[in-house]
Amino acid sequence: MQSDNHNDIIDRDDAVISISGLYKSFGTLDVLKGIDLDVHKGENVAVLGRSGTGKSVLIKILVGLLKPDAGIVKVLGQEVDKLQGKELDALRLKIGFSFQNSALYDSMDVRRNLEFPLRMNFKSLTKKEIDIAVEEVLDAVGLLDKINQLPSDLSGGQKKRIGIARTLILKPEIMLYDEPTSGLDPITSVEINDLINDVQRRYHTSSIIITHDLTCAKVTANRVAILLDGAFLKVGTFDDVFATQEERIQSFFNYNFIT
């Protein structure tokens, strides 16, 4: 299991993400019901759960796209929902967010997709510096040859890789992956899993990986958290969680293996 190899880079005393008593609802639907989670420096944590259980909501709260109804969410020591304007932007620059559908800008080719966050945030960078940064991250995701293509010309797996490259270009300390392997064939899923591990190793990032793909969780995460009915039922290593006798967790695992 590849994630075991990375346990030595985790600093257990240093929580880069700290969530306590987090509640979030939409209308009359309570999605998150008082969840707690710490993610340590250098650690990959996979959040497993069925669709619609609030996994994506959780990471959107971490970057301030959604506001929590109650609870404390600290990222790199700062309470996210208390930040505004430049303070929030400064924090967001330290967080990479890989979207489920990649969210590449349709009207821009791969080069411009990658240049865009750099140009907008670091006006003093020269064209040469930007070109070097773009080529470096494209090389890291193995898609340097796609630099002049439009997102519409890329496959699902390539879009995911470019999406990850676009976040890496800002050199984030934390990576948030929203369903990184959803909609991909098994071979491409393995490539994305390898990329997530590679990012952790090469960029020393801490990550939350939102997924319902057990293989992805097993291969990429140092710990997994099972989110069911708005609460974490179990947090631990994949093997610990898999071995638990809790009925709902077992039925989640059984269902995933059958399907």
Partner 1 sequence: MRTGSKKFLLSKGLDEYFIGVYNAYKFIGRFFKEAFKAPFHFREIINQCFEIGLKALPLITLTGFITGIVFTKQSRPSLETFGATSWLPSLISIAILRALASLVTALICSGKVGSSIGAELGSMRVTEQIDAMEVSAINPFKFLVTTRVLATTITVPILALYCGFVALLGSFVNINAHEATSFISFFEHGFDTITFLDIFTSVTKSIFFGFTIGIVGCYKGYNASSGTVGVGRAANQAVVLSMFLVFIEEVVIVQVSNWIRLF
Smaller CB separation from partner 1, 156 or 236: 156
Residue 25: CB minimum distance to partner 1, A: 3
Which one, of 249, 248, 238, lies nearest residue 46 by Cα?
A: 238
Count of positions on this chain that bind partner 1 (CB under 8 A): 36
Residue 88: CB minimum distance to partner 1, A: 8
Q: β-strand 78-79 against 231-236: which pairing, if any?
A: unpaired
Question: Which residues, numbered 143-162, are part of the site for partner 1 (CB under 8 A)?
Answer: none
Which of 95, 141, 165, 192 touches partner 1 (CB under 8 A)?
Answer: 95
Task: Assess contact for 235 and 37: CB atoms under 8 A.
Answer: yes
| Residue 65 contacts partner 1 per CB under 8 A | yes
| Residue 183 contacts partner 1 per CB under 8 A | no
Q: How far apart are CA 206 and CA 93, in angstroms?
A: 14
- Which residue's entry shows tokens 């700290």? 18
Which of 83, 170, 231, 233 touches partner 1 (CB under 8 A)?
Answer: 170
* Residue 100 main-chain phi, psi, to 5 deg: -55, -45
Q: How far apart are CA 179 and CA 141, in angstroms?
A: 17
Smaller CB separation from partner 1, 69 or 194: 69
Which of 1, 7, 26, 129 touches partner 1 (CB under 8 A)?
Answer: 26
| Residue 203 contacts partner 1 per CB under 8 A | no
Smaller CB separation from partner 1, 95 or 208: 95
Query: Mapping DSSP to helix (H, G, I), strand (E, B) and coil, where does residue 63 land?
Result: coil
Cβ neighbours for 48, distance < 8 A, ≥ 6 positions apart: 211, 212, 214, 217, 224, 225, 226, 227, 252
Instruction: Give contact residues for partner 1 (rule: CB under 8 A).
Output: 23-30, 33-34, 60, 63, 65, 69-70, 89-90, 92-93, 95, 97, 99-101, 103-106, 116-117, 120-121, 123, 166-167, 170
